[in-house]
Amino acid sequence: MAVPKYTRAIVCGVPGSLPANAQRLEEPDEPIDLEKARQQHSHYVETLKKLGLRVTHIETDEAYPDCVFVADTAVCVRNTALIPNMGHESRRGEVKRIKSALTEMGFDIICMKEPAFLDAGDVLFTGREFFVGLSSRTNKEGIDALAKAFPDFSVSSIKVRKHLHLQSIITMAGDDLIVVGGSPMASEAWVELESKAKFKYRKVVTPEDRAANVLYVNGTLVHEPAKDIPGSISVFQGLPGPKMELDNSELSKADGSLTCCCLLLQ
């Protein structure tokens, strides 16, 4: 089985409360430009449509500054959706609207309960197996709950250091191709992943960690533009297949990566 083919995506707009109240690891050098963030997000949504996805919009909720990062709120494989107990308390209310939307779409819903915690940004699904980041947002109980929800797939934990999520430094860039950031932390995560993997994967390394977060959708690789990943752009240019660029400069100031802003559905 290869990386899943996707037909739909769920997105949520950028709330006005994001610039001041986003839950990030560090304060950015420059504040988030809200209008620019919304313009970039609109382009993001249009790109998903160009990739053939039917897009469902979840209403923005000012009470949840991070609600634009909708990918953290569910793990969906085939017709099953795991609704996690999210790692940061301020974000846990975000899952209510996602649960409702997925229920209406006909997904079988499984809800995670304490003491399990998990952000779906820690979940890398290769189409064959799961790798899940053991991070500040995801604990062992959360990983165990995911394994129980998807018993047909192997689940391996991967330690995440000094980054928000596993997908901050490792993502799928092809059916058996994984892109890995160039930092020692990313390299350590890859070594652990490779040692635990039940299948063989090819690896490509980007000098900048942020460049390692890409969207791979139905054969097209979506990555950040050269201005934001100057040391890594040649890596993507050297890969075969169609590619697209998406500017994510504003949401990246809130630790938001390309994978964060859509929940992809099969």
Q: What's the pLDDT at 95?
A: 96
3-state secondary structure of 96: helix
What confidence tens digit (pLDDT) does each residue in 28-53 have? 788 999 999 999 999 999 999 999 99
Tokens 């003491």 map to which residue?
Answer: 115
Q: What's the pLDDT at 2?
A: 80
Count other Cβ atoms within 10 Å, centred on residue 44: 20
DSSP H or E stretch at residue 41: helix 34-50
Q: How many residues does the chain have?
A: 266
CATH number of 8-265, picked from 3.40.50.980, 3.75.10.10, 3.30.950.10, 1.10.357.10: 3.75.10.10
Count other Cβ atoms within 10 Å, centred on residue 214: 23
Answer whether 266's CB lies under 8 Å from 5's CB: yes
Q: Does 19 or 21 have the greater pLDDT score?
A: 19
Task: Place 22 in a pLDDT band, splitting at 50, 70 and 90.
Answer: confident
* Mean pLDDT along residues 221-239: 98
Tokens 């430094």 map to which residue?
Answer: 169
C-alpha of 249 from chain center: 16
Is the model's pTM score more than 0.85?
Answer: yes
Task: Place 237 in a pLDDT band, splitting at 50, 70 and 90.
Answer: very high
What confidence tens digit (pLDDT) does each residue in 163-188 have? 999 999 999 999 999 999 999 999 99
φ, ψ at 48 (rounded to 5°): -60, -40
Q: What's the pLDDT at 207?
A: 98
Of the ranges 8-22, 137-151, 194-208, which one carries the lowest mean pLDDT score? 8-22
Mean pLDDT, rounded, of the chain: 96
pLDDT at 57 over 80: yes
Distances (CA, A) of 240 to 53, 97, 219, 235, 255: 22, 38, 10, 11, 29
What confidence tens digit (pLDDT) does each residue in 75-96 have? 999 999 999 999 999 999 999 9
State the catalytic residues: 165, 260
Cα–Cα distance, 183 to 233 (Å, whole number): 16
What confidence tens digit (pLDDT) does each residue in 96-127 have? 999 999 999 999 999 999 999 999 999 999 99
Task: Place 230 in a pLDDT band, splitting at 50, 70 and 90.
Answer: very high
pLDDT at 1 over 70: no
